[in-house]
Copies of this chain bind each other. A is one copy, B any other.
Amino acid sequence: MDEPLFTIPLWADLTAVGLGGVQGALFASGFQGQRRLDLLGVTIIGIVVGMGGGLIRDLLLDTTLATLQSNWYLLTAVAASLIGMLLAGVFHRLNRLIVGLDALVIGLFGAFGTSKALALGLPPVPAVFIGVCAAVGGGILRDIIMGLPVAIMHVGSLYAVAAGAGCVVLAVLHVFGVDLVPSAIAGILVAFVIRLLAVIFDVSLPEQRMLHRRKVAVETAAIPIVKPPR
């Protein structure tokens, strides 16, 4: 009811929710031992990762929560979680798929968050902030609910930086008069490419590299392996 000028098309929004749900379920399925989750737990994580970004975005915008105005979002997230579980059963080496999907999802959620904020008239700096929160918020909720260290604070792969760069590109293009749709596509691409390159070439901030040797234990704790419960 607040956004007459601009609405994210339902298919685009559902695509992001679906990819997020698949990615979340793949991630959650990877745990073994005491951290292993049952079918219900994996589905909860799929829903959290698929829908968390959109919910956080609309809460911060103080607008109607689009994710809850139609049956399709939840149905998509649940179906995506089941697909994620199936894929996890089929493929043995999942890390590449998880990382690729993740790069796409943070790009999509970041772009949707920033463009919706700009369309509602927010200034560019908070619009970028909302995009970053939408991009990384689902993952933060996932880590908190699963009792893992919050990945964004510890994993040295320019995670939040990739999301932020995509949102900044979008906002800057918009300030210079470019339409929201091409700006958003550019932003998604930038976030996706930075995140993938960071993982492929193991790029990280200088200080993070220094820290890396000291805290391998922390980082591996964020990757699906057997860990005792906290």
For window 102-147 of A, CB contacts with B under 8 Å fall at: 117, 122-126, 129-130, 140, 144-147
Asked if B62 contacts A63 (CB within 8 A), the reply is: yes
Mark contacts of A45-74 with chain B using CB atoms, 8 A cut-off: 1 yes-contact digit, 0 otherwise.
Answer: 000000000010011111111011111011
For chain A, give the interface size range.
Answer: 35 or more
Asked if A71 contacts B126 (CB within 8 A), the reply is: yes
Given contacts A60-B65, A126-B69, contact A149 B150 (CB under 8 A): no
Asked if A62 contacts B62 (CB within 8 A), the reply is: yes
Given contacts A38-B208, A62-B58, A208-B38, contact A68 B149 (CB under 8 A): no
For window 190-212 of A, CB contacts with B under 8 Å fall at: 205, 207-208, 211
Q: How far is the CA of A161 from the CA of B38 in the complex (A)?
A: 13
| A187 proximal to B (CB < 8 A) | no
Copies in the complex: 3
| A5 proximal to B (CB < 8 A) | no
| A37 proximal to B (CB < 8 A) | yes
Chain B residue numbers with a CB within 8 Å of A161 are 40
Q: How far is the CA of A69 from the CA of B140 in the complex (A)?
A: 24
Q: Which of the candidate stretches A9-17, A19-27, A91-99, A213-221 sits at the interface with the other chain?
A: A213-221
Chain B residue numbers with a CB within 8 Å of A122 are 68-69
| A229 proximal to B (CB < 8 A) | yes
Q: How far is the CA of A156 from the CA of B37 in the complex (A)?
A: 10
Q: How far is the CA of A215 from the CA of B35 in the complex (A)?
A: 8
Q: List 15 A-B contacts (CB under 8 A).
A: A36-B214, A38-B205, A39-B207, A40-B161, A55-B60, A61-B65, A67-B126, A68-B117, A68-B122, A71-B126, A75-B125, A144-B144, A147-B150, A147-B153, A217-B228
Query: Can you add 16 more A-B contacts, CB < 8 Å, to A62-B65, A68-B130, A230-B230?
Result: A33-B214, A34-B214, A38-B208, A39-B207, A61-B68, A62-B64, A67-B126, A68-B117, A69-B123, A69-B126, A74-B126, A144-B144, A145-B153, A146-B150, A147-B150, A215-B229
* 7 nearest A-B residue pairs (beta carbon): A68-B126, A71-B125, A230-B230, A38-B207, A218-B229, A34-B215, A71-B123
